[in-house]
Amino acid sequence: MSSGNTYEIYEQDIPEIDMYSHLPRWLSFYELALGRKLRPEDKVFPFMAVNGIIDPSREMSYELFSKLLHKFTDAAGLEGWYTTHSFRRGGAQYRFIFAPLGFRWSLNRVRWWGGWAEGESVDTLMKYLMDSLQSYENGHGDALQPVPKGAEASFMGEHLEMQAATGGEVREMKRSVDRRIDEIDQKLDEKMDELVVKITAKFEETHLPSMSLSSSASGVRRAKPTVRAARVVSAPYVNRSPSVSSDEYSSGSSDDGSSLSESKPKPLPIPGVKIPHLGPGANAWKRALKQWEQGDPASGLLPLKDWPTAYYTNSMRTVTGTKRRDRELVAIAYNQVGRDEDAFLAAYPEANKSLRSLIRAIRRDRKIAKPRASRNGTPEEREARRVAGG
């Protein structure tokens, strides 16, 4: 009786070579084709005649297995003709050389598991492995690769997997992460602006004052446009889509003195007033400076430094307030260094990364940053309002 090894089979993380899952499926199909349960003496891979008859007492012929293997590899999109030799040599090479770090087998383990053709020694398998490894370590096909594997320095270049990251690699990773964060910030800004526009439009639709007429009224007089409605016509950045200002329907009186509106609506954000995106990149700070000082006549944007207070305070604070303040900080910092671009970049290297990084750096600069102003104004402004109110 010939001696052999007992192989313990467990579930694997690699589905392509997971015998634990695939073999039971094959055996179930095998029993279904036979029409009975398998017996201990039945061959796992039986002989199958041309007419489809299965003979479980005989092993599958080499010719039939080769044909089936060719059909499998062809369906998988693999080119070439594969044989059982591919399993013996390929499996051993994978376990010894190409498996992920930490999952490779020693030569002793491969030798113990390695089956071979009748009449040939397992030593033939070892020879194949050593020849493959020698060919790999002496090859220089990866000489132009940015990070060469260095197979000659360690077994399969494992030293690259174990060594600490270099300063250059860390910097490249940081640049990659920064670019990704800038892209995410840009998308978030765009989505937030879209959301604000939608909410504002919905707010205007649902809060237009309702008009009720007295039964004795013979007509309705539309209220005169307010100062704000007139100012919107020359808004710094006008949405070209037609819109109706709610101020055209502001509270007023009918001819008989009855009120046209039961309640006065809350102040709404000014329609059409917004600040365009700067876009990502190292020159975003220059575009911010241009918006602050020159605006953009082509799109109807007036210089942000000349904006009326109403465009970025009160109800407009969440729409344009933060963006306008960011542009203002860039202008302050640029003027602080004498409007010298080289001096500016030396003082704020973050400008080469993104506008968000630059703004953070400027806010940390004690020469520029100042305590956040109260939403109720300065003490002098509050006192002036108190006196005016009597």
- In sequence order, the 6+-apart residues with CB closer than 8 A to the CB of 284 are 278, 354, 355, 358
The whole-number pLDDT of residue 118 equals 63
Element of type H or E holding 54: strand 54-59
| Residue 135 Cα distances to 128, 145, 357, angstroms | 11, 18, 50
Kindly give the confidence (pLDDT) of every residue in the chain, 390 residues in length, as a single tens digit, with 9 standing for 90 and above: 456 678 888 888 877 778 888 999 999 999 999 999 999 999 999 998 888 889 999 999 888 888 888 898 889 888 888 887 777 777 788 888 788 877 888 888 887 877 655 666 677 778 878 887 777 777 777 777 776 666 666 666 666 666 677 787 788 888 889 888 888 888 888 788 778 777 776 665 555 444 443 444 444 444 444 433 333 434 454 444 444 344 433 333 334 444 444 445 444 578 778 888 888 778 889 999 999 999 887 777 889 999 998 888 888 888 888 899 999 999 999 998 899 999 999 999 988 888 888 898 898 887 776 655 555 665 556 666 666 665
Domain borders along the chain are 15-159, 204-209+221-273, 275-390
Nearest CA among 328, 273, 260 for reference residue 300: 273
Which pTM does this prediction carry? Answer: 0.36
Helices (H), the chain: 19-34, 62-75, 84-93, 107-113, 123-138, 158-162, 167-206, 227-232, 284-293, 322-336, 341-347, 355-364, 379-388
Tell which phi-psi region holds residue 314, choosing left (phi > 0), alpha (psi between -120 and 50) or beta.
Answer: left
The whole-number pLDDT of residue 389 equals 61
Distance CA 311, CA 319 (A): 9
Helix 322-336 to helix 355-364 angle (10° resolution) is: 70
Q: How many C-beta neighbours within 10 Å does residue 324 have?
A: 21
- In sequence order, the 6+-apart residues with CB closer than 8 A to the CB of 293 are 303, 305, 331
Task: Tell me the sheet residues that pair with 47.
Answer: 55
How many residues are given for the chain? Answer: 390
Render the burial of 249-267: b for 16+ CB within 10 Å, e for the rest.
Answer: bbeeebeeeeebbeeebee
Distance CA 40, CA 65 (A): 22
Dihedral sign computed on CA atoms, order 50, 52, 53, 59: positive
3-state class of 301 per DSSP? Answer: strand
| Residue 200 Cα distances to 271, 273, 316, angstroms | 8, 12, 11
Distance CA 4, CA 244 (A): 89
